[in-house]
Structure 1
Amino acid sequence: MSTPEPYAGFIDHIEGFLGKVYDAEPPVIEGKNRGFALFFCKTPAEDLVSVVTNGLRFQKITTIMPMELACTVLPEQRAYARALVALTANLVIRMGEAVQLDQVIPAPEPFWDDLDMAGVMIVNHPYIEDGFESVQNAEGRTEMQMLTVVPVTAAEIAYVNERDADALYEIWEEEETDLLDVTRASAV
């Protein structure tokens, strides 16, 4: 009996939750191998685009479980999601440590001059039913985790630092914050 290939269900998993992979960016796009590729997925209705890393799970990173990152945005904001996922993945590789759920990562300076976003928060995907976070093997055991990158404003970062991530989740829910819109205003 042959041993199933590790992570064999990864593409089926992301396509099942995020839509078909319609584009990809190789790991050598910036001239040297950065350690991960990017997949671009689009929902069947083409109303959302997700950017997903492919290769973080093979890097030398201190983590409990191998991981990949995703960011889902409105279709016209694909470039923002690409930048946020690539920056976060590069940080993970440089630091040699995985990001954690509810972790806030402030940027040293705002990402874009015309937007309010000043960092990212690592969350369970806010718009997908349970199951996205755990990629399982053929035997049904979790072999990898999927973490979602959500852009946050400086005020939201300060709010989490003063209180905690759950307090920000409550505000986002109360305000019905559209976390898919990188151009959104701060919820706090």
Structure 2
Amino acid sequence: MTTEHERTALGGAHRFVGLAENLERHAGTPTAAEPPNARGTNRGYGLVFFNLEKYHLTTVISSGLRFQPLGAEPAQELACTVYKEQAEAARHLVDLTAEVLVQQRTFLVPDQIVPNEEPLLPGTEFHGVLASGHPMFAPEFTRFTDPDGVEQLQVFTLLPVTLGELNYILDNGVTALRQQWARFEVDVFDLGRPSVA
């Protein structure tokens, strides 16, 4: 038996008319998709890969979190943008974070850190992600509105952060880390980047 909140979450797909076109306008051409049951059981969301050839970037975006009863208002999806050859790592980060949200029936807030005890990607220092607006795409990518201008969806971009950067955030806050990234001209789309803290 479904709850009222679950019925509301599952209904209302009409609120997202034009979403696919909006994502393409910013993230580029869709090149591949992974269905919700790609790894066996239905995990409640799929993954879509977009390529922005001009910048050699791939963005992996979840598709279906917005229909899950996570309690988010407006609804949410997740994205991660990396250089094309690192697309599998972006897929992993979006999948891992989305799985946590679905299992815990929770949602993200702006500038939230999702830490992990072990490195999220083998051979890296990335121990978490920062839920953010997109560093390069226009705000309309992050905040999707219906024809009446009512915000229906937030697309949180996951920015990988190192263990040192996680500790830096705990001591100084997210804004201070962003200032460090700007100071050292950190390329947040490069998963081979050094830590600034």
- Shorter-chain TM range is over 0.9
5 Å matches for 1:1-188?
5-45=14-54, 47-188=56-197
4+ residue runs over 6 A deviation: none
Give 1:20's aligned amino acid: T
Query: TM-score, normalised on structure 2?
Result: 0.90
Contact kept? 1:116, 1:183, Cα under 8 Å = no
CA offset at residue 108 of structure 1?
Answer: 2.4
Asked whether the 8 Å contact 1:9–1:135 carries over to 2, the reply is no
1:103/1:121 contact within 8 Å kept: yes
Q: Deviations over 1:98-122 (max 9, x none)?
A: 0111111111211233112111111
How many residues are aligned here? 186
Q: Which moved more, 1:125-134 or 1:177-186?
A: 125-134
- Give structure 1 stretches of 5+ with no counterpart: none
State the secondary structure of the residue aligned to 1:131. helix
Give, in angstroms, the shift of residue 62 of structure 1. Answer: 1.8
Question: How many angstroms apart in 1 are the aligned matches of 2:49 and 2:139?
Answer: 21
In the alignment, the residues of structure 1 paired with residue 95 and residue 186 of structure 2 have an alpha-carbon distance, to the nearest angstrom, of 24
Q: Structure 2: where are the runs of 5+ without partners? A: 1-11
Paired amino acid for 1:42: N
Aligned-residue identity in percent = 33
The RMSD of aligned alpha carbons is 1.5
| Contact persistence 1:102–1:122 (CA under 8 A) | yes
Mean CA deviation greater in 61-70 or 47-56: 61-70
Write the distance in 2 (CA, Å) between the matches of 1:9 and 1:162: 41
Bigger share in helix? 2
Say which SS state the counterpart of residue 144 (structure 1) adopts: strand
